[in-house]
Amino acid sequence: PVQSDREHVIVLSDWSPVHPHVLLKRLKQMGGYHNFQRQTLAGLLAGKDQPLKERMEWGAMRMDPTDISDVTGSTYSFLVNGHGTVENWTGLFAPGERVRLRIVNASAMTNFNVRLPGLPMTVVQCDGQHVQPVETDEFQIGIAETYDVIVQPTEAKPYGLIAEAIDRSGQVRATLAPQIGMVAPIPDLRPRPLLTMKDMGMDMAGMDMGQGGVIDLSQPANESMAGHSMKMLDPSVAPNVPMGPGVATLSAMPADRTADRPTGLEDVEHRVLTYADLRALEPNEDIRTPTRTLDIHLTANMERYMWSFDGVKLSDGAER
């Protein structure tokens, strides 16, 4: 229902010269194998990133707040329509045209932050579903997601389409321009983000800290946390989930975060799309009351790199 004068398909992808089986083997041997953005002692002494108290809290959980992408720009090259930044894939437009960009995340392991500096985007479709138009300056696109956006450049100059890895270990730039050969500027990579306790499914509010501000993980959750569990595994949250080596994590405090800004974009000054901004263009014709409710837990063992629903892997034939 949204008209445009021209359209371009933008396929985002990641590529590594390393065989996928080798990448998986490395991840099973060491979860942070490809993470070269960890916090350091030098950074602590310089007052960068997390203070000592927070680092000790994460250390007590044996977690790393910089562990955002499993495979990073240290081995991946990021591409737009199969082209890197130097090759400068270019989509043409005439000033004043309404240009539809069909953006597809075809990567294997990378979520991207997408923006067009100086050019607002109007999101009109998500995963093939028409949505009420919403204007934004940046959005995060997950693996296998698609977004259709409308842009309307009015000046005869190049605009850079920037797709930045969620952990900011790399990025790729393409160009929208009125003619081939024009090159949009390449912005510097922004500082890499850090995960928070909220990102881990926990809330620090009201939690009891031990001496030195370190969470006491040796005590039962209801005693040391006033009912809030800092443990990554709390079987009481999902009593019907079978425990085993593949279930080392269960979200202790599930929460609706669809209105939250995506990871790493919490503090940027421009507009950022959230899932709560996406509303169907047409009302759902099926207004029946649900007759059944299913609680499905995403379960995992991050160190062994095992992933499942309710403790059952896809290879085991998970059905309910």
Q: What is the pLDDT of residue 250?
A: 74
Beta-strand runs (E) in 192-302: 298-301
Domains along the sequence of the chain with CATH: 6-16+74-177 (2.60.40.420), 232-277+291-313 (no CATH)
The Cα 183–Cα 86 span in angstroms is 10
Q: What is the chain's pLDDT, residue by residue, as a tens digit (320 residues)?
A: 899 999 999 999 999 999 999 999 998 888 787 888 888 888 888 888 888 888 887 777 777 788 888 899 999 999 999 999 999 999 999 999 999 999 999 999 999 999 999 999 999 999 999 999 999 999 999 999 999 999 999 999 999 999 999 999 999 999 999 999 999 999 999 998 888 877 776 655 444 444 333 334 334 444 434 344 455 666 777 777 878 888 877 776 778 889 999 999 999 999 999 999 999 999 989 999 999 998 888 888 877 888 888 888 888 875 65
Q: What is the pLDDT of residue 80?
A: 98
The Cα 170–Cα 204 span in angstroms is 31
Q: What stretch of H or E contains 22?
A: helix 20-29
CA atoms within 13 A on the CB side of 12: 31
Q: What stretch of H or E contains 191?
A: none
Contacts by 93-96, CB closer than 8 A, 24 or more apart? 93/6, 93/153, 93/176, 93/177, 93/178, 94/5, 94/6, 94/178, 95/153, 95/154, 95/155, 95/156, 95/178, 96/152, 96/153, 96/154
CB atoms within 10 A of CB 286: 5
The Cα 131–Cα 129 span in angstroms is 6
Task: Give the pTM.
Answer: 0.83
Q: What is the pLDDT of residue 50?
A: 81
